[in-house]
Chain A
Amino acid sequence: ETGVTQTPRHLVMGMTNKKSLKCEQHLGHNAMYWYKQSAKKPLELMFVYSLEERVENNSVPSRFSPECPNSSHLFLHLHTLQPEDSALYLCASSRTRSLSGELFFGEGSRLTVL
Chain B
Amino acid sequence: GENVEQHPSTLSVQEGDSAVIKCTYSDSASNYFPWYKQELGKRPQLIIDIRSNVGEKKDQRIAVTLNKTAKHFSLHITETQPEDSAVYFCAANLPGTASKLTFGTGTRLQVTL
Tell me the A residues contacting B by CB distance below 8 Å: 2, 4, 31, 33, 40-43, 45, 48, 50, 55-56, 90, 97-100, 102-103, 105-108
In this assembly, does B98 line the interface, its C-beta being within 8 Å of a C-beta of chain A? yes
Given A100-B32, A102-B34, answer yes or no on A45-B42 (Cβ-Cβ < 8 Å): no
CA distance A98 to B45 in the complex (A): 18
Q: Known pairs A90-B44, A100-B51, A103-B46; list 9 more (Cβ under 8 Å).
A: A2-B43, A40-B106, A42-B4, A42-B103, A43-B44, A97-B98, A99-B32, A102-B34, A106-B43
Whether B101 lies near A99 (C-beta < 8 A) is yes
Given A42-B106, A99-B32, answer yes or no on A2-B45 (Cβ-Cβ < 8 Å): yes
B24 nearest CB across to chain A (Å): 13
Q: Which residues of B contact A90 (CB under 8 A)?
A: 43-44
Q: Which 6 A-B pairs have the closest CB atoms?
A: A43-B103, A105-B43, A42-B103, A48-B99, A97-B99, A107-B43
Tell me the B residues contacting A by CB distance below 8 Å: 4, 9, 32, 34, 36, 41-46, 49, 51, 89, 91, 93, 97-106
Q: Which residues of A contact B42 (CB under 8 A)?
A: 107
Q: Which residues of B contact A105 (CB under 8 A)?
A: 43-45
- B89 to A, closest residue via Cβ: A43
B73 nearest CB across to chain A (Å): 16
CA distance A100 to B99 in the complex (A): 10
Q: Which residues of B contact A102 (CB under 8 A)?
A: 34, 46, 49
CA distance A108 to B41 in the complex (A): 9
